[in-house]
Structure 1
């Protein structure tokens, strides 16, 4: 029997940011390994909270957007909502609908890009695709949807491109893949279809970001404003109707928004969702002949949290949200627990195993974000360490958020489970249809969902539901405009002289990766404290003071590893969360050592 070994993946690639996964493994008699304990470590540090201190709260959104180069819209809107909540500002209906459309557009872009460009290669063998029969691939595509690119000649062209690329010996971004690994189970034709859509996704993604530029002026980092949106609406058509010749959103640009929504929805309906179903079915069927059943492993903590998102009225009306608010405990979909983000004992952040200290509390204590601290205290370990952190060590730049002391999974799976549990009939029907096509049993708690494959399917289902929701939000925006309402900004409390001496606010969204919250404290018209609890913080955080593992760490527990030197199984589960560790800033030299030391208090 092989000896037990410590597995280290550093960095985990095809994610945003820097993540290190380390695991103890137990050797099995057949030469495989099983993970007995894992640690999730962010090697990047975020200092945005300290940069915020002393600033005008109306400009916080611009700094918050720079937390990440991917989730720019959601951070900007969340920040604006936090200040609006603190100051009692209600934004106009048009601004709510525009924010819905911008956040939804980010979902569509982010989820499709993640599936094809970041996660799919964990399931698709690129080199197998060049062995496919293009005619069979065309028949397969035609059986999945009415998508136009379903001819043998089309797939012959894709196969030729891939063959030339692979035979050149210069695989580029595919160079480090585990091609030929026993864990790959798709047929050559399935691989070819998915690789064709991988290539199509690249051009599709370039077009749909135009929606952000129409309403926000640019992308990434489109503009937002406390009190609404900065995009004036012209009800008369805006002169020539060309977006580039004026600053107002006019009839031509609104027509473009409608066309972009159609483009997004068509790709999701005809390509992304069918592909996700095909992949889940193929791996489920493969498990029947002795393979790993990826719909039964990879469950994290069994608890799910949502703040809610996409109001049909306004953000202060949770009953109108497409994604409902609440908490699910222990997989039980029969009961949804309410949440209170202002309750200091309900939401807390722990730093027991993080490279931070608390000045006002013990390192083992939990602090509510309004009282939260960002005090750096890097204590090691040295670069290249191979010993798994023990129960007393700090090992990550991520804090450990908890709801009533419990670790929570956030993200697409939480969203879809919450919609299902809350009785959204459209969501329930779609989930049941997808389960039926794959061959999964629909039981009371949707057991198959609580897994690596389930998380991947939930993301595709959510994309379909949000894409369809965009039609309603767009129609409401157009109804308002056609009725003479072109307001996008409420300036009633824009002047600091109208503010209270002290105020606290909470802003939230359901980002593509899950629950995102910003807590702000305003004193004497300036920010005195600002804390961000990002989605990947909930999922990727280290153990808390009680030793409770977060979702990444819990999700890897018991994982099989067929080939220790090619741990594709770990990547499948970690990528199923769509990690975004880029909510941080760092400077290192080529050897991984710090090259610059920054006192973030200098920015205050």
Structure 2
């Protein structure tokens, strides 16, 4: 076992590489201080370069959403949707209201599908009875003695019963969640034709044939999912609250400064015209409110400010710098505001493969930052739901009956379903000892509440779409022409968080195109100022509560931290010590469940 001494501490070097993913290959390298039960240092790496921003150049801009949806085999529809928003701005086209309600229904179904299968069938494994037995047998013993406060709502008498229900394949809740993922996938396909690369989504609208039957089929499945949510939220509250009680200090696992970004999602067709000039106004009308949150405070909810603040730093990534070596594509936005050379509109991707060196370059992931006028902030998405719920709550703008943002919480009203009465949940901005709290548990908790939130929104969207059909407003597409010159952007939320697409058109072709999904924000590496990215920051200094000795260490607290960000479906973990010596291979119990 390789050890080193730093500042009087004996550190053990350990690595999980690869934590395999559908897009990219995530590795996490740590130095662990077992004497003080703490992670001393962390580096996250990605070993795969893909280069969409390179081969998009010269393409017909009308193909952008078909191409960029292939960026990901999990949330490809989020990319397609964001690209369509981007194109709508470039072409100056406003889709019919019905088309936007259909897109909202589809995107809501994708949020439900992906968060459900990730939370219950992937993250849930980290808290299941088998995993807790291997890593914290003392905690499991306590769970056997602890009655679940909301047993009447979810049906599990003790916390240990909840843990057993999450055991892969064997657990009844684990299997039930798989059925729900099928239903939500069907909901998506009803609206957008095919999952995960939509076949009916276009700039200007959709090709979906809108009928009363379409929305009825969607709502039938949605009500079953809503009934499921009435068990999910209280069950997870019981489970996550128990970890705080059983392991005092667990609030510090995966904790980092509250630096959250949400670009907003789910447009209101009454207000959204996709023009850059009006983007500040229609952005605030989204059903998920945009916002940059620093230390718990809402800094801005203006999409123009959010757009202009994006900076792409290279830092420790395998690229050559373009700044100073190329002429900017865009010097000013359509409102006349200056555009920085490190903004995505002006970015050039110049790969420079090289040997991994943790003192220099060590990853293919760049370092997106948001410039607040003084500092380059390493925003994270809280896995997606934490930033979305937090921003929506603070904005206090959403109020559609089924959901309401209060300024410090979000109220979610789920109507009566087949066997359960009308139910109201309230997600409150998390705090610990008076300070805003962003950690592993709260990222996971927000995912449960957000599923209920977006299900309630979906019911509203379906009702609005159905109303359009019944009034005879069945047009779903608006014609457009492609301009010779344009600059445009699209803002939305992928499942895991912020998503933006930036495009420059010259001579009717794509001159520059840069998509920025949540992964580069969350998995970014140390930037040119030496600031670590969110994965690295959240793991560094996180305490170790696992009961195993270093020889049998599984790193469950580190894995819970990384997986709380939802890093594209980890399905296997390999552990190494020292100079790449294989200590053991850990086969994840959910390895079969790749998508």
For 2:425 and 2:436, the matched residues in 1 are separated by 13
Give yes or no for contact 1:40–1:552 (8 Å, CA) kept in 2: yes
Alignment of 1:442-591 (within 5 A): 447=435, 449-491=437-479, 493=480, 495-496=481-482, 499=483, 501-561=484-544, 562=546, 563=548, 564=550, 565-580=553-568
Alignment of 1:173-572 (within 5 A): 187-194=159-166, 195-223=171-199, 224-233=201-210, 250-270=211-231, 272-288=232-248, 293-312=249-268, 313-315=270-272, 316=274, 317-333=282-298, 335-336=299-300, 338-340=302-304, 346-361=309-324, 367-381=342-356, 389-390=358-359, 393-404=360-371, 405-410=376-381, 411-423=384-396, 426-428=404-406, 447=435, 449-491=437-479, 493=480, 495-496=481-482, 499=483, 501-561=484-544, 562=546, 563=548, 564=550, 565-572=553-560
Structure 1 position 307, deviation (Å):
1.4
Give yes or no for contact 2:106–2:189 (8 Å, CA) kept in 1: no
For 1:225 and 1:446, the matched residues in 2 are separated by 47
For residue 11 of structure 1, give the secondary structure of its aligned residue in structure 2: strand
What's the CA shift string for 1:282-319, capped at 9, x where partnerless?
A: 1111124xxxx333332234211121112233444123
For 1:463 and 1:581, the matched residues in 2 are separated by 18
For residue 253 of structure 2, give the secondary structure of its aligned residue in structure 1: coil
Give yes or no for contact 2:96–2:475 (8 Å, CA) kept in 1: yes
Query: Structure 2: which 5+ residue stretches go unaligned?
Result: 1-7, 275-281, 327-339, 414-423, 571-595
TM-score relative to the length of structure 1: 0.76
For 2:133 and 2:160, the matched residues in 1 are separated by 5
For 2:250 and 2:112, the matched residues in 1 are separated by 25
Structure 1 position 427, deviation (Å):
4.5
For 1:314 and 1:214, the matched residues in 2 are separated by 25
Query: Structure 1: which 5+ residue stretches go unaligned?
Result: 153-185, 234-249, 382-387, 583-604
Structure 1 position 490, deviation (Å):
0.7
Aligned length: 503
Deviating more after overlay: 437-446 vs 88-97: 437-446
Give yes or no for contact 1:100–1:473 (8 Å, CA) kept in 2: yes
Structure 1 position 438, deviation (Å):
12
Give the match for residue 65 of structure 2: 61
Structure 1 position 15, deviation (Å):
7.2
Give the match for residue 21 of structure 1: 28
Give yes or no for contact 1:299–1:451 (8 Å, CA) kept in 2: yes
Give the alignment's Cα RMSD to 1 decimal.
3.4
- Is the strand fraction higher in 1 or 2? 2
Structure 1 position 254, deviation (Å):
2.2
- Residue from 24, 33, 44 that aligns with 2:48: 44
Give yes or no for contact 1:278–1:438 (8 Å, CA) kept in 2: no
Give the match for residue 247 of structure 1: none
Residues 342 and 518 (structure 1), Cα distance of their counterparts in 2 relative to 1, 3 Å cut: same
Give the match for residue 115 of structure 2: 111
Give yes or no for contact 1:34–1:558 (8 Å, CA) kept in 2: yes
